[in-house]
Structure 1
Amino acid sequence: MLVRAYLRASTREQDATRAKADLVRFANERDLRIAATYVENESGASLARPELFRLLSDCHPGDMLLVEQVDRLSRLNASDWERLKSEIQRIGVRVVALDLPTSWNQIAISEGDDIQRRMLDAVNGMMLDMLAALARKDYEDRRRRQRQGIEKAKGEGLYKGRPEDRERNTAIMQMLAKGQSWSAIVKATGCSRATLSKLAKRVKEGVKAKVAE
Structure 2
Amino acid sequence: MFVRAYLRASTSDQDATRAHAQLDTFAADHGLTIAARYIENESGAKLHRPELFRLLADCRPGDVLLVEQVDRLSRLTEADWRKLRAEIDTKQVRIVALDLPTSWGLATHPDEFTGRMFAAVNTMMLDVLAAVARKDYEDRRRRQAQGTAKAKAAGLYKGRPENAARNAGIATMLRAGASWQAIMDATGCSRSTIAKVRQRMEASA
Report the TM-score, using the length of structure 1 for normalisation: 0.88
Q: Which runs of 5+ in 1 are unaligned?
A: 208-213
CA RMSD of aligned residues (A): 1.7
**2:169 is matched with which residue?**
171
| Residue pair 1:70, 1:128 contacting (<8 A) in 2 also | yes
Distance 1:106 1:198 in 2: 46
Report the TM-score, using the length of structure 2 for normalisation: 0.92
Which protein shows a greater Rg?
1
| Residue pair 1:68, 1:99 contacting (<8 A) in 2 also | yes
1:59-117 CA-partner distances (Å, limit 9, x unpaired): 1111111111100111111011001111111111111111111111223453xx33332
SS state of the match for residue 11, structure 1?
A: coil
Hey, which bits of structure 1, 4+ residues long, moved more than 6 A? none
Range with greater deviation from structure 2 (59-68 or 174-183): 174-183
Specify which of 183, 186, 204 is matched with residue 185 of structure 1.
183
After TM superposition, list the pairs within 5 Å mapping 1:59-138 onto structure 2. Answer: 59-110=59-110, 113-138=111-136
| Residue pair 1:177, 1:203 contacting (<8 A) in 2 also | no
1:21 positional shift: 1.1
**1:195 is matched with which residue?**
193
1:189 positional shift: 2.5
**1:160 is matched with which residue?**
158
SS state of the match for residue 43, structure 1?
A: coil
Distance 2:71 2:152 in 1: 31
Q: How many residues align?
A: 205
SS state of the match for residue 38, structure 2?
A: strand
Distance 1:133 1:185 in 2: 34
SS state of the match for residue 107, structure 2?
A: coil
Pair 103,178 (structure 1): closer, same or farther in 2 beyond 3 Å: closer
Distance 1:205 1:165 in 2: 19
**1:210 is matched with which residue?**
none
Among all aligned residue pairs of Structure 1 and Structure 2, give the percentage whose two residues are the same amino acid.
63
